Structure 1
Amino acid sequence: MLILVSIIIFPYQKVAGILKWFCISLLVYIAVPFFTDVNWPLVFRSTIIPHVNWSKDYINALVAILGTTISPYLFFWQATMEAEDVQQRGATLIVDKRMITKMRKDVDLGMLFSNVVMFFIILTCGSVLYPHGIHQIETVEQAATALRPIAGDKAYWLFATGIIGTGFLAIPVLSGSLSYMFAETFNWKQGLDKKFFQAKPFYGVIIVSLLIGVLLNLIGINPVQGLLYAAILYGLTAPVIILVVLHISNNRSVMGPHVNGRWSNMLGGLTFILMAAAAVAMLYLQFTS
């Protein structure tokens, strides 16, 4: 309720100025394994030579991980936030070489940081929880609680702090992304910098989505399974969006002189092939196993 009221009443730039400090909480995931008994030689060996298993659960998890790495909602959120930030400063949006270089560094650092955090979360679950018989986690609270008898209160509070911090970050991003999708589809007035009366349908989607999220928790739907299924759907839809982005990025009538280079197209094409192959394999196993 606090976040909902804040993003409706105050300009999002002010809210973001506070919420961005919760990013620091992500660092706790990196710290947790160092408070536990981790077999580091095995971790390094398994990272370089991963175990691949041709099974439904394994491929489902692979598609989910790929889906959370390249999530479709990020395309909407990142683009609109960049545009609104420029408008808020009263500047004219000019895409030049300097701006593209700045955005590239921003994206590179963000992807590196998010994947490092994801690696350590997987490391904590795989090397700390699983060997101690914790194979099924229904809620994030259980994940934090499971660390207490194994690693003590320090790891428990670190993980719990990270969960709360990422929750505060995720609420406006996910609900706001959905609102931008609806607004662009139905040509509504949009923007978190708008007052409520200026963009009622836009803010209405945010309110409804947050209420649905609360109700899902109250009626007993497993949130962890819900996140997994959402990530799988991201993994299935992301290849289509990658193709659209590659098409736009190579269209000179849209991009002018800033079309993709050879390496960008090669990496983009490789990413598409990998994600499409994983999605096809998952669908194949769903119907054959």
Structure 2
Amino acid sequence: MKNATANKPRRLGRWGRPAAIFAILGPGLIAANAGNDSGGIATYSSAGAQFAYKPLFLAVVITLMLIVVQEMAARVGTFGGGGIMALVREQFSLRIGAFAVFCILVANLGLVVSEFAGIGAALELFGVSRYISVPISALILIGVVVFGSYRWAERIFLTFALAFLAYPFAMILSHPNWSEVVSNAVIPHFVGSKAFLLMAIALVGTTITPYMQLYQAAAVADSGAGPDDYPRVRTDAVGGAIIAGLIFICILIATAATIGGTGPLNSAAQAAKALEPVAGAGAEVLFGIGLLGASALAAAVVPLSTAYGLAEAVGAERSVSRRFSEAPLFLGLFAAQVVIGAMVALIPVNLFALLIGMQILNGLITPIILGFLYVLSNRRSVVGDAISSPMNKAISLLCVGVVSTLAVVVVGVTVGGWFGVV
């Protein structure tokens, strides 16, 4: 049974206790690591396979940008008392918000399909048919969200995130050249080619996506966190982004050390299989476990971010702690996305065209969401005295500008490719 008071914020004692850091992790860890989904793992693996250690400096810079963006989302959710789209409805034009919500709905549905495809591919590495694993996974996710409380769902999502611990072990098994790792991480080693530029854009686009910011702000508000809880929320957001960045780096190093220079990959499952001859069966198993956890986490977070966004935009009740009768639009939309995503993922067709369309929509959404986020996080009527300092404003604006520009470039390159222009 749903517990209406289940989303009260947690109060902590001294942070010096050994388990304190784990106790404060929640929406920030979930949101940031949901970005390391099946598509993200495939992109990181492909970057390592194609360019070896050279993208490591980019990975460090992208992680810093992720920290800035996720902290803004956490601040808006904490001090604004609502998700991004709820505040957009109050502060901006409803038409702009409606366009963003429509794009989010379509693009995120495509992502849900890819996440269930990732679940199926991961369990097929262990001999389980996708026709068994995908429906069961869909039922579990619906049960957790529709019939659970916010706190229960959060614990389940954090359990999924534990699967990411497989990647540091996979990195160790790959026996990387640590001097090259350090050199490429602290000194730029860019390649003057179109392929490297497109890879860099893809890395930014798959690491910083609109659904992460939507979920971060909405989940913080849903958890019941208020201004007094901001130190905890900020630590969670920044810590989650750092952990997500470290996982990104571990995946890149593992593939760079084993199959670096062999060319791009098409999927995370292909990366897992490619590791086995070089790093042994253990590396393939670890990659498969990581892919399963990553896909399951994103398969929950992506439809939740859509449900939060739409419910916020129309002013409907939205909370994982509500019964279905209390939040029918929110919970119904979540369940519908999961069912549709799972069903489409079972159709034996190439999903490449779907993923390309999703990239274009994300390219359209990203500047809008990040623009909203920047303004909201610096508007006193929303965050009060928690607006950014002049230095932080400049850094935030730079990050938002870079990510938004690259998102638009993705749209231009993709559309240009259709007409043979790019």
The yes-or-no answer on 1:95 pairing with 2:227 is yes
* Equivalence for 1:147: 275
Instruction: Indicate if the aligned counterparts of 1:72 and 1:238 stay in contact, CA closer than 8 A.
Output: yes
Which whole-Å deviations, capped at 9, do the CAs of 1:70-114 have from their partners, x for residues lacking one? 22112221222222222xxxxxx6424xx3332222211111110
- 1:202 CA drift (Å): 1.8
* Equivalence for 2:199: 61
| Letter in structure 2 aligned against 1:25 | A
- 1:216 CA drift (Å): 3.1
Question: Which of 79, 84, 103 is the matching residue for 2:222?
Answer: 84
CA–CA distance in 1 between the matches of 2:201 and 2:145?
A: 32
CA–CA distance in 1 between the matches of 2:290 and 2:360?
A: 23
- 1:117 CA drift (Å): 0.6
Q: Structure 2 matches for 1:221-260, cutoff 5 A?
A: 221-222=349-350, 230=358, 233-260=361-388
Q: Alignment partner of 1:196: what SS?
A: coil
Which whole-Å deviations, capped at 9, do the CAs of 1:242-262 have from their partners, x for residues lacking one? 222221222222222221112
Matched residue count: 278
* Equivalence for 1:162: 290
RMSD: 2.6
Structure-2 change in CA distance of 1:214 and 1:169 (3 Å): same
* Equivalence for 1:122: 252
Instruction: Indicate if the aligned counterparts of 2:209 and 2:362 stay in contact, CA closer than 8 A.
Output: yes
- 1:232 CA drift (Å): 6.2
CA–CA distance in 2 between the matches of 1:272 and 1:230?
A: 20
CA–CA distance in 2 between the matches of 1:227 and 1:124?
A: 25
Gaps of 5+ in 2: 1-138
CA–CA distance in 2 between the matches of 1:259 and 1:284?
A: 34
| Letter in structure 1 aligned against 2:143 | V
- 1:201 CA drift (Å): 2.3
| Letter in structure 2 aligned against 1:43 | V
Instruction: Indicate if the aligned counterparts of 2:201 and 2:407 stay in contact, CA closer than 8 A.
Output: yes
Which range moved further: 218-227 or 77-86? Answer: 218-227
The yes-or-no answer on 1:49 pairing with 2:188 is yes
CA–CA distance in 2 between the matches of 1:222 and 1:126?
A: 27
Gaps of 5+ in 1: 87-92
- 1:173 CA drift (Å): 0.9
| Letter in structure 2 aligned against 1:187 | G
* Equivalence for 1:272: 400
| Letter in structure 2 aligned against 1:146 | A
CA–CA distance in 1 between the matches of 2:160 and 2:316?
A: 31
- 1:218 CA drift (Å): 1.8
The yes-or-no answer on 1:73 pairing with 2:211 is yes
Q: Alignment partner of 2:311: what SS?
A: helix
The yes-or-no answer on 1:7 pairing with 2:136 is no
CA–CA distance in 2 between the matches of 1:63 and 1:235?
A: 11
The yes-or-no answer on 1:191 pairing with 2:319 is yes
Q: Alignment partner of 1:198: what SS?
A: coil
TM-score scaled by length of structure 1: 0.84
Instruction: Indicate if the aligned counterparts of 1:63 and 1:282 stay in contact, CA closer than 8 A.
Output: yes
Instruction: Indicate if the aligned counterparts of 2:303 and 2:337 stay in contact, CA closer than 8 A.
Output: yes
CA–CA distance in 2 between the matches of 1:235 and 1:172?
A: 22
Structure-2 change in CA distance of 1:175 and 1:216 (3 Å): same
Say which structure is richer in helix.
1
CA–CA distance in 1 between the matches of 2:192 and 2:142?
A: 43
Instruction: Indicate if the aligned counterparts of 1:68 and 1:231 stay in contact, CA closer than 8 A.
Output: no
CA–CA distance in 2 between the matches of 1:229 and 1:119?
A: 27
- 1:227 CA drift (Å): 5.7
- 1:6 CA drift (Å): 2.4
Which range moved further: 13-22 or 265-274? Answer: 13-22
* Equivalence for 1:135: 264
* Equivalence for 1:39: 177
| Letter in structure 1 aligned against 2:403 | M
- 1:152 CA drift (Å): 1.1
- Identical amino acids, percent of aligned pairs: 25
* Equivalence for 1:215: 343
Structure-2 change in CA distance of 1:128 and 1:247 (3 Å): same
Instruction: Indicate if the aligned counterparts of 1:73 and 1:177 stay in contact, CA closer than 8 A.
Output: yes
Structure-2 change in CA distance of 1:285 and 1:230 (3 Å): closer
CA–CA distance in 1 between the matches of 2:385 and 2:313?
A: 29
The yes-or-no answer on 1:113 pairing with 2:243 is yes
- 1:195 CA drift (Å): 1.1
| Letter in structure 2 aligned against 1:74 | M
Q: Alignment partner of 1:190: what SS?
A: coil
